[in-house]
Amino acid sequence: MALIGQKNNRFHLIVEFIYESKEISGLTGPLREFLQAAKAKDAKLQPGLCCISGAGPIAENRCDLTNVAWKIDGNEIKREFQIETIVINDFSAIAYGIPTLDLNNSAQVCKIPHLHKADPKPEIDAVKVVIGAGTGLGVGYLVPRGNHNYIAYPSEGGHAGFADFDPQSKAIKSHIRKAIAKNPDTEMFLSGQGINNIYQYFKAKQGFTVEGIFTAIDAADEKERPALISKNAAFNPVCKKIMQNFARIYANYASNIALTFLPLGGLFLGGGIAVKNQELFLAGNLFMKSFEENCRENIKVLLSKIPVYIIKDYSISLYGAANAAVNLLKKV
């Protein structure tokens, strides 16, 4: 939770609290505590608008959260605290956060260099796209409404079928298809789960011995394995190979999304995996070589005109929620 102020068309984080989602039973109690603490700091800190983003489907200003037992009810919060409230999807909040980024601030973003010294600048009032590979795979896009304003639209692009693009990705896809007896979606390759799936392919087909770090990886919970593989990529050649395959899959998928939306305002990589593996993505132009690869020379040129960034600022969801509140509730 954060209290964010807006001044000169810029958002500023004033107060921030962190709660463990699985240790609370809803938002009413924590929100009351948060607002009291903010008021105790400064009596003027009384919010005029509220936006809450949740990981789950949104209907009638409510969110049935996917991974915890409680729900978010924006209408209940509005009644309880007398604050205009809107509930949006968590990835929509990230999308609304994109226009708040300072693209010249290296603490907020890392621009991935294009090949052949191309250095495209984001066009003003052009479509922007965000792809987030983390626990799952999210895709969102922003359409300009004029005067530097945007509206975010959701997508289920992460669940589109996976398109293999070389013998290695084809072999990985075949392995996963046999394991689940279904046609896999892209999230099964491009997420924490995807890293684990690529690891399972390497273990089954590449014939390495399960010892040392791999003993610890095998013993870990499936949700913990991706972080262990990523952490050891700098020291272990197999872990490095797994993450290089992941980065190439990420780049190929990002390229397909870029050609679908033509985000001349910028294509942004969110989620924790890209920023934690930034050096691997950049080394030897690994990401960009796959991103710009295409059978048509004119399309390669087009891809070289799309600015690509890794989002480094973990507060983007908070700024995005504030931006969504201003954009979606300002008439109120």
CATH number at residue 111: 3.40.367.20
Claim to verify: residue 244 and residue 128 sit in the same structural domain: yes
Residues 78/332, Cβ–Cβ less than 8 Å: no
Q: What does the angle CA 5 – CA 10 – CA 14 come to, to the nearest 5 degrees?
A: 30
Claim to verify: residue 136 and residue 264 sit in the same structural domain: yes
> The domain containing residue 15 runs over which residues?
2-97+315-329
Helix (H) or strand (E) holding 73: strand 71-73
Question: Domain total for the chain?
Answer: 2
Q: Please report the pLDDT score of residue 147 as a whole number.
A: 76
Determine how β-strand 58-59 pairs with β-strand 109-111. unpaired
Residue 13 vs residues 47, 100, 236: alpha-carbon distances, Å: 12, 12, 40
**68 pLDDT tier (thresholds 50, 70, 90):** confident
Q: What is the pLDDT of residues 139-183, one digit of tens each?
A: 999 999 877 788 898 788 999 999 999 999 999 999 999 999 999
At residue 115, the 3 state secondary structure works out as helix
Claim to verify: residue 51 and residue 66 sit in the same structural domain: yes
Claim to verify: residue 81 and residue 155 sit in the same structural domain: no
**21-25, 37-41, 210-214, 252-256 — which is least confidently predicted?**
210-214
Q: What is the pLDDT of residues 224-262, one digit of tens each?
A: 999 999 999 999 999 999 999 999 999 999 999 999 999
Claim to verify: residue 266 and residue 305 sit in the same structural domain: yes
Express the helix, strand and coil content of the chain in percent, nearest 5 each: 45, 20, 35
Please provide the distance, in angstroms rounded to a whole number, between the alpha carbons at the two ends of the chain: 22
Average pLDDT over residues 89-115: 94
Distance CA 57, CA 163 (A): 26
Claim to verify: residue 132 and residue 237 sit in the same structural domain: yes
Looking at residue 7, which CATH number applies to its domain?
3.30.420.40
Token pair recorded at residue 123: 């066009």
pLDDT for residue 69 is more than 70? yes
pLDDT for residue 50 is more than 70? yes
Claim to verify: residue 146 and residue 48 sit in the same structural domain: no
Claim to verify: residue 172 and residue 278 sit in the same structural domain: yes
Q: What is the pLDDT of residues 275-331, one digit of tens each?
A: 999 999 999 999 999 999 999 999 999 999 999 999 999 899 999 999 999 988 876
pLDDT for residue 208 is more than 80? no
Distance CA 284, CA 197 (A): 25
Distance CA 101, CA 104 (A): 9
Q: Please report the pLDDT score of residue 332 as a whole number.
A: 57
Claim to verify: residue 173 and residue 255 sit in the same structural domain: yes
Strands in 267-270's sheet, in edge-to-edge order, are 109-111, 308-311, 267-270, 128-133, 137-146, 149-153
Q: Which residue has the higher pLDDT, 30 or 208?
A: 30
Claim to verify: residue 224 and residue 92 sit in the same structural domain: no
Q: Work out the number of other CB atoms within 10 angstroms of the CB of residue 39.
A: 14
Residue 155's contacts (CB-CB under 8 Å, 6 or more residues apart) are: 138, 139, 140, 141
Claim to verify: residue 245 and residue 305 sit in the same structural domain: yes
Model-level pTM? Answer: 0.91
| Closest to 266 measured CA to CA, from 256, 278, 258 | 258
Claim to verify: residue 282 and residue 306 sit in the same structural domain: yes
